[in-house]
Chain A
Amino acid sequence: MFEFSYTFKLVMIATAMIGAISGILGVFLTLSKKSLVSDALSHSALPGVVLAFIMTKEASGLVFMFGAFVASVFALILIDFIKKYSPIKNDTSLALILSSFFGFGQVLLSLIRDTAGSNQARLNAFIFGQAATINQTDVFVLYGNLFIVILVIVVFYRPMKLYVFDPVFYQSLGYQKKLAEVLINFLLILVVISGIQMVGVILMSALLIAPAIAARLLSNQFKNNLVLAMMIGILSAVIGTFLGQRLPTGPVIVVITSSVALMMLLFSKNGLVRDIYIGFRFKKQIKVYLPLILFYETNEYSHPFVLACPTYLKQGYVIKRNNDYVVSIEGVRLIDSLMGGIS
């Protein structure tokens, strides 16, 4: 039925793996409020890629990955240094690092315009990503990275989870202060350098953040968040690759994951639509049933009140007992649910 080219299969496998690892790691990033760090680090990879090419004159995935790794680590060290020793706020320093490194990368790209020849296009592809540049070696490296990410998370699952939730208590249990932080940063850089060739430095952070947001809105369990984010990452990557035969793969994948996140933001059980609906319904009900609540709380069984609100009788929230009117069990339940246990 379908005949897929060799390249298409490679791209499919590669994007699925990138979707998986960015999904998993994104959960740790968003919960430890590091979303912007991922954006800064991916942008910072660009000058590293170009410099690695200038120094080696070789245009291979491994060389690019190594260059990106060095530049991202350097950027991370700078971010930490500024955070520690300067009065500049963290978000400001992130913005500074992001734009300056990316700008430097662009300058380097234009410097080699005349000498790079056919490799220029491959280097330019790092900005928005180009899935078709992937080859067999890259896929092997991706297998390796996938294995490392999953291994680290399985082995250090508990300390990493505790660190993300409560870093102070984590430390008070005697865990090495730096362990979890270094691990999360290391995995982040690993995921970023795996993904930028296909997705591009600009859009990489969306791939990390969007599946995690969607997963958080779908589940209140940490472990399920990891699994869901991974699945959303893989699924978006696979669908994106299919559509990407006619459109640019990276951006399409990002559009899909972001759409999933947006849908969840609106329609999940923790989503906006339900929130607004519940708020709206409550406002309406509290208006309708305010007399009933006051009647119940003051215990004044007055006939005029019941006569004024015959609907309560009809709905069964007020019943006639002997010659008095009292709030029925259903009525008490309704009041309890409306008052949220404070009555």
Chain B
Amino acid sequence: MKTHVTIENLIVAYEDKPVLFDIDLTINRGQLIAIVGPNGAGKSTLIKAMINLVKKTTGHVFFDGKTYEDYKKNIAYVPQRNTVDWDFPTTVKDVVLMGRYHELKWYQKPSKTYISEARAALEKVGMLAFENRQISKLSGGQQQRVFLARALFTNASLYLMDEPFQGVDDQTEKAIIDVLRLLKQEKKTVLVVHHDLSTVSEYFDEVILINKRLIAHGNVKDVFTNENIVETFKGIKTRSKIDV
């Protein structure tokens, strides 16, 4: 199995407190990987640091041996959906078209292929019927699927998703899983910040357990053990029952 992403000695600090401490990871190509840990464990920060959305205090990240700057066209990021104002005056299709704005010169109109690929991405998440809908009229789950379609449209080889399953309906959850499996078939690597411990084994191949430090990383079978989970959530009362 070929290495896709290497993270070396990563430390991220907000002011004087480390959020992530001394993370070393190698991520293999074509895997569905869950990033699991308690609130404030630095899960979102980990993927943000990978793509320079937050500043690394120390450390390096390499993608196929390249730096982020040389590799960024191959990375698709799905932000948490509450980071944007859904009252923005635009349609579902237009949001997806934004996924490859960086490929268009300022005087270029989106070509027919460009648009049809965007629509194909919408179809994959079951949102093609809503392509002309005002985005303020979407449910939370539909918003999430639009974000996912936008990421699919970028045609990346590495996908970083920040809590896509957060507060979505069953239909959306199923749509997201279908997309994850599709991406796996296409040998893409997918990193997902994930909250629901009960679905980790079902949805993912590998798991990264973090709580500021790396607790464990590997196949779900091998490392998603009670012992590691307890270690990760140590000192934190969780309402969700931990049993694997």
Contact residues of A: prevailing secondary structure: helix
For A225, give the chain B residue with the smallest CB separation: B89
Binds B, one of A4-12, A123-131, A136-144, A162-170: A162-170
Residues of A within 8 A of B69 (CB): 174
B182: interface (CB < 8 Å): no
Binds A, one of B22-30, B71-79, B120-128, B228-236: B71-79
Please give the number of chain A residues whose Cβ is less than 8 angstroms from any Cβ of chain B in the complex.
27
B138: interface (CB < 8 Å): no
Residues of A within 8 A of B51 (CB): 172
Contact of B77 among A31, A157, A172, A220 (CB under 8 A): A172
Contact with B along A219-256 (1 / 0, CB 8 A): 11110110000000000000000000000000000000
Q: Is the CB of B53 within 8 A of A172?
A: yes
A158: interface (CB < 8 Å): yes
Contact with A along B133-146 (1 / 0, CB 8 A): 01010000000000
Contact of B89 among A172, A175, A216 (CB under 8 A): A216
B48 to chain A, nearest CB (A): 8
Q: Is the CB of A171 within 8 A of B89?
A: no
Q: Is the CB of B90 within 8 A of A222?
A: yes
For A171, give the chain B residue with the smallest CB separation: B53
| Max chain B Cβ within 10 angstroms of own Cβ: one of A159, A173, A219 | A173
B53 to chain A, nearest CB (A): 6
Q: Please judge, given known A-B contacts A169-B79, A174-B73, whether A162 and B88 are in contact too, CB under 8 Å.
A: no
For B136, give the chain A residue with the smallest CB separation: A220
Bound: A173/B73 CA distance, A: 7
For B71, give the chain A residue with the smallest CB separation: A174
| Max chain B Cβ within 10 angstroms of own Cβ: one of A168, A172, A174, A216 | A172
Chain B residues in the interface with A (C-beta under 8 A): 51-53, 69, 72-73, 75, 77, 79, 83-85, 88-91, 94-95, 98, 101-102, 104, 106, 134, 136, 150
| Sample (28) of A-B pairs whose CB atoms are under 8 Å apart | A31-B89, A33-B85, A154-B106, A158-B101, A162-B101, A164-B88, A165-B84, A165-B85, A165-B90, A165-B98, A166-B84, A166-B98, A168-B83, A169-B79, A169-B98, A169-B150, A172-B51, A172-B53, A172-B79, A173-B102, A174-B102, A175-B102, A216-B89, A220-B89, A220-B134, A221-B91, A222-B90, A225-B89
